[in-house]
Structure 1
């Protein structure tokens, strides 16, 4: 039983930093300073991202899952205050 408890504790210590790395740190500004979701969606479209499957708040970022204008899968994190790309992963 003690080995199980130690294993669970070790797993949670290792997993916590990995989960924290999932979303980047996009802004320290309060949410009342953020662009509206509609304004951000419009900016996302002007940046060439299409067929957005998911648009959500992820930590202190706006995050999308969609496609580039070239048809590549895109996971992109945006600064919600100015709409700048903070992190992007573009696939095939």
Structure 2
């Protein structure tokens, strides 16, 4: 019984920590990653790390225009933020 409970907890925690799925669109329709980052920087963001996630998101780690530490997942087609985490 303990093994079953532990396995259930591990499966649930992995699901909670998983990044969102942003798009299923072909990569040819995605915004150019360099141009996308430039647009964010022009808006006042400081990007420390940029990557493409398994859920087909552009993910940034850095700071927003107010200087708060952020982690943001963006839809690479529309550029819209799908999930934002702000650390005050």
| Bucket of the pairwise TM-score, normalised by the shorter protein | 0.7 to 0.9
Aligned residue pairs: how many?
86
TM-score (norm. length: structure 2): 0.78
Match of 2:10 in 1: 15
Structure 2 alignment gaps of length 5 or more: none
- Match status 1:29 vs 2:25: yes
Is 1:80 the counterpart of 2:76 in the alignment? yes
Gapped runs of 5+ residues in structure 1?
Answer: none
In 2: Cα distance, 1:17 partner to 1:62 partner: 24
CA distance in 2, matches of 1:19, 1:31: 26
Q: Which has the larger radius of gyration?
A: 1
Q: 1:76 to 1:11 in 2, by over 3 A?
A: same
For 2:79, what is the secondary structure of its paired residue? Answer: coil
Root-mean-square deviation (Å): 2.1
CA–CA distance in structure 1, aligned partners of residues 44 and 50 of structure 2:
15
Q: What's the CA shift for 1:82?
A: 1.7
